[in-house]
Amino acid sequence: MTTPASSGTEKPASQSPDGELTPTLQPVMVGDIRVDPPLFLAPMAGVTDRDFRLIVRRIGGVGVVSMEFVSSKAIMSGNRKTRELMVFSEEERPLAIQIYGSSPEIMADAARVVEELGADICDINMGCPANKVLKGCAGAALMGDLGLAERIIRQVRAAISIPLTVKFRLGLNDKQRNFIELGKICQDSGVQAVAVHGRTARQMFSGEADWEQIARLKDALTLPVIGNGDITKPEHAERFLRRSGCDGLMIGRGATRNPWIFRQIDAHLSGGAVAQPTLEDRRDLILGHFRMVADREPSKFALHKLRKFTGWYTHGLPGGRNLRRQIQQLPDVPSFLSAVEQFFDEALVEDANRAA
């Protein structure tokens, strides 16, 4: 197994009950940005907005938070909504802004805007499998045209001085798994780190992320490799690091159901106790998040968002399904908030009765 590259002060490895050494989380340098712990919140369109990024950051244990991807064309056409999406607060740092597109010139211009806005890291999306993005020859489509991918990476790299990262998949499909080639292009073009999701674009989210392939990429490159795909528990993080030797982990869907995951992984790999969120923690998280959304968004969008996040946050809670069903019918934000409050009041009473 490869040992994770590290920088800064080495943290001691701890011993697991079976006598094996547990991999430790060593800080990783992405250019001049020290990422400690090396745990990344994955960019997720419609999810990693300002509110969710702040929630994850305030819970703690996360090294870098990523903004949902932004179209380079929309940035350069001055699209108001896009510019609003790109607002972030100091508290979120270090923060990565991810851009996508197929024109090297427009991507370079958009990257300049990302730098001017003060992002810590500029990230290029070369992994999005959505048809809308593929049709514009952006996202994962660039894995089918490595010449264009390289031109984009080089022009963007030359346009900015902040660290540049590239996020991609294993390839377009099983027959075209060219992630190692793309990784080498990134390395030779001055990119500071890569993140790879262990699936092909054709797979979308089906099957399992192939951690062995991520390990091959790590072995083939000298720049930091951040592994991504299907890490939803601290034990997964441990197994993943043991198998891949990657320099860091990126977590997407696991954080939507459990925004505490970064803190839990950090604790687990430091040999500490992994605290499970209590019902009160969950209630405060949901209500706090919902008030943030409701304060800012027009109510139609707020409700849509609240339903989506409630589905995730109540996953696995006793009675959670009933609440999810009930909130589909509720007409406005206040009735939504009171239904959630009532659900947790009752759950807390039941919990106390069980404990008595």
Ligand X SMILES: Cc1cc2nc3c(=O)[nH]c(=O)nc-3n(C[C@H](O)[C@H](O)[C@H](O)COP(=O)(O)O)c2cc1C
Active site residues: 128
The residues, any chain, with a CB within 8 Å of residue 138's CB and separated by 6 or more, are: 100, 101, 102, 125, 128
Instruction: Compute CA 295 distance to the chain's CA centroid, rounded to the nearest angstrom.
Output: 25
Write down the least CB distance from residue 52 to ligand X, Å.
11
The residues, any chain, with a CB within 8 Å of residue 309's CB and separated by 6 or more, are: 52, 256, 286, 289, 290, 293
Out of 113, 215, 237, 251, the only residue in the binding site for ligand X (CB under 6 A) is 251
- Residue 49 in the binding site for ligand X (CB under 6 A): no
Residue with tokens 């490159």: 221
- Residue 68 in the binding site for ligand X (CB under 6 A): yes
CA distance 331 to 177: 47
Of 86 and 347, nearer to ligand X (C-beta) is 86
Of 128 and 293, nearer to ligand X (C-beta) is 128
CA distance 44 to 64: 14
Task: Report the b/e string of 226-259 with b at 16+ CB within 10 A.
Answer: bbbbbbbbbebbbebbbbbbbbbbbbbbbbbebb
- Residue 69 in the binding site for ligand X (CB under 6 A): yes
Write down the least CB distance from residue 33 to ligand X, Å.
18
- Residue 162 in the binding site for ligand X (CB under 6 A): no
| DSSP structure string for 265-293 | HHHHHTT---PPPPHHHHHHHHHHHHHHH
- Residue 103 in the binding site for ligand X (CB under 6 A): no
- By CB under 6 A, which span of 122-130, 173-181, 218-226, 285-293 interacts with ligand X? 122-130
Interhelix angle 333-355/279-296, nearest 10 degrees: 170
Q: 131 forms bridges with which residues in the sheet?
A: none
Of 51 and 344, nearer to ligand X (C-beta) is 51
Of 125 and 155, nearer to ligand X (C-beta) is 125
Of 197 and 289, nearer to ligand X (C-beta) is 197
- Residue 99 in the binding site for ligand X (CB under 6 A): no
- By CB under 6 A, which span of 25-33, 89-97, 123-131, 322-330 interacts with ligand X? 123-131
Out of 7, 11, 34, 44, the only residue in the binding site for ligand X (CB under 6 A) is 44
Q: Which residues are near ligand X by CB under 6 A?
A: 42-47, 68-69, 98, 125, 127-128, 167, 197, 228-231, 251-254
